[in-house]
Amino acid sequence: MVYLDNSATTKPWQEVLETYQEAASTYFGNPSSLHRPGSEAETLLNKARESVASLLKAKPNEIIFTSGGTEGNNLAIKGAAIEHRKRGRHLVTTTVEHPSVKEAFSQLEAFGFEVTYVPVDKEGRVSPEDVENAVRADTTLVSIIHVNNEMGTIQPIEEIGKRLEKYPKLYFHTDHVQGAAHNPLDLHEAKVDLCTISGHKFHGVKGTGALFMKEGTVLSPLFHGGSQEQTYRAGTENVPGITAMAKALRISRERLAAEEKRLYQLRDFLIDSLSDIKGAEVNTPKRGAAPHIVNVSFPGVKPEVIIQSLTKRQYHLSTKSACSSKMQEPSAVIKAAGLGMERAESAIRASFSFDTKEEDVKKLIEVLNEIIPEMKKVMGAERS
């Protein structure tokens, strides 16, 4: 099996699963309880918080544990907008955000907030100047994805952060889910107030995540109940999952230091090889893109047909964001980048992990060179 859908989810590493199992069986107490099992669980939770904070170059009290990227994005966006609605109801984002961000803003619009959607260029990249120009006196939040989950484009978060620093009354949030393991941000250097990560994107277990919340930031909670996570995220903490996520993030950073160059070489090899397939249109830019995502269109061929044909041969890719891949609609990201409806309707995505090998990519190219011409013949015959 060749698994190339790591932007949707990654396979948990064995050592991460072992950490999860040990924490679940040995440190099963509720970390809010006063007895010894509770104190032991709380100690483990605190160690995990310190580890994640250190890896993100943050303080432990700036880490709020969540269930993943969707919850983290919703807490950051809705929490900031609702808490500061008396100061202003204008929000800024882009046209290429993940569905968990896009839908959060849509709901806020239904609640009477005004949202400015800043456009992107043909590489899916937003202009820092355009972002700043969208800011108004009543703007309370700017949210920009770091690494685009479909095209792999890296947004200029650091430059945007520097521009927004002159507007101290607004918050700056970034969806760092795709970048945390492959393109780490220095959050304080980027002047970010809120930042989302998700454990299952870097070989942790599903249902784990964290929101970096800069000291002094105030949000309205989504959940109400106990005082867990500084009252910003009520509910008993998932200590085994959090501990496993901390370990997965540490291992990911270690492997990135050793393998970043190899991943970029593998990505460039795939882009060059896809470009040689007749009719293929590569959507991922070589410049300023992450090392683990390659998006390509085959105009005239339905992407779901390609995916099904590949999966029958044990090659597993995806069409767009896993959150919306079963909806047979054109890619909103490809459309927003102005690459045309044909490319938006026929885009597929390959995404690597640190475990992806050159042999895997070479075999994928061989299979695509075999099936794409056949599919184009069939589609051509159907149209005639």
Active-site positions?
Answer: 323
Residue of 370, 371, 259, 353 lying closest to 2 (CA atoms): 353
365-to-31, 132, 260, 282, 310 alpha-carbon distances in Å: 50, 42, 22, 13, 11
- How far is residue 182's CA from residue 168's CA, in Å, rounded to a whole number? 30
- Residues with Cβ within 8 Å of 58's Cβ and at least 6 positions away in sequence, in order, are 52, 187, 188, 212
Q: How far apart are CA 31 and CA 277, in angstroms?
A: 55
Helical ranges in the chain per DSSP H: 14-26, 36-55, 69-83, 99-110, 128-134, 157-164, 239-275, 303-312, 332-336, 341-344, 358-383
Scanning the structure block, which residue is given the tokens 């170059």?
57
User: Strand, helix or coil at 334?
Assistant: helix
CA atoms within 13 A on the CB side of 350: 28
Q: Residues 120, 126: contact at Cβ < 8 Å?
A: yes
Can you tell me the distance from the alpha carbon of 337 to that of 360, in angstroms, rounded to the nearest whole number?
A: 29
At 313, the amino acid letter reads R
Number of Cβ atoms within 10 Å of the Cβ of 136: 14
Residue listed under structure tokens 């002047």: 191
Cα first-last separation, the chain: 37
Is the separation of the CB atoms in 98 and 293 below 8 Å?
A: no
Compute φ and ψ for 170, nearest 5 degrees: -110, 160
| C-alpha closest to that of 78 among 70, 62, 61 | 70
Tell me how far apart the alpha carbons of residues 251 and 242 are, in angstroms, rounded to a whole number. Answer: 14
Owner of token pair 């784990």: 208
Structural contact between residues 299 and 279, judged by C-beta atoms closer than 8 angstroms: yes
Q: Give me the residue label for tokens 């507007």.
A: 167
